[in-house]
Homo-oligomer: A and B are copies of this chain.
Amino acid sequence: MKKTIAIDMDGVIADVEEQFLSWYHRDYGVRYTREYLIGLNEDNAFPERGVIRKFAHTAGFFQTLPVMPGAVDAVKRLMDNFEIYIVSAAMEFPLSLGEKLEWLKVNFPFIGWKNIIFCGDKSIINTDYMVDDHIRNLDSFKGKPIMFHAFHNVSYDHHVRANNWNEVIALLEADL
């Protein structure tokens, strides 16, 4: 039986960081860079507090997210050797449910509905691996966690880090 991987959406296969920067530019007229965000978190990323939460509660935010570079090819390739589950903590943003499902259908049409999970916290998810950018999800995970690089996790080093999808593939295929 194939080993299982829980793959997160926002910040892992969907490039929320790029969307934050471009929506901020659109709404506030300032174009920050990815480098600027490094070491900040989702609460203090921009001078106006709560702007990221506001974006995430806006209709269309999740449906129009850019795909993370390399994610489509990487997930397709991993499916040869692993059973892939897309596991997203979507319940905090009720609007996101339909949008996330639609986004997956458009951008990852090869992922079937049986392999999609929308949850609140991820503590009851039981797979062999988890690829996620959030410490709170990785810390409670019982399998092998892989921390996908994000501006808000650069100061943590207690999980194996992957800086991009090539590094995720290298880590996972080394275990085959």
Contacts and interface: CB of A to CB of B under 8 A. Distances in A.
Contact of A114 (B6, B91, B113, B115): B91
Task: Tell me if A's interface is mostly helix, strand, loop or mixed.
Answer: mixed
A72 B94 CA distance: 22
Interface stretch (A46-54, A59-67, A123-131, A147-155): A123-131
A139 interface: no
* This protein's copies in its complex: 2
Contacts of A6: 124
Given A94-B101, A101-B91, A101-B94, A115 B126 contact: no
A90 to B, nearest CB: 8
A112 interface: yes
B118 A97 contact: yes
A114 B120 contact: yes
Contact of A117 (B94, B112, B115, B120): B120
Given A116-B119, A118-B117, A124 B4 contact: yes
Interface residues of A, number: 24
B126 A121 contact: no
A113 B119 CA distance: 8
A165 interface: no
Interface string A3-46: 01010000000000000000000000000000000000000000
A117 B91 CA distance: 8
A114 B122 CA distance: 9
A28 to B, nearest CB: 29
Contacts of A117: 117-120, 124
| Complex A-B, nearest 7 residue pairs according to Cβ-Cβ distance, in ascending order | A126-B126, A114-B120, A91-B113, A97-B97, A117-B119, A118-B118, A114-B121
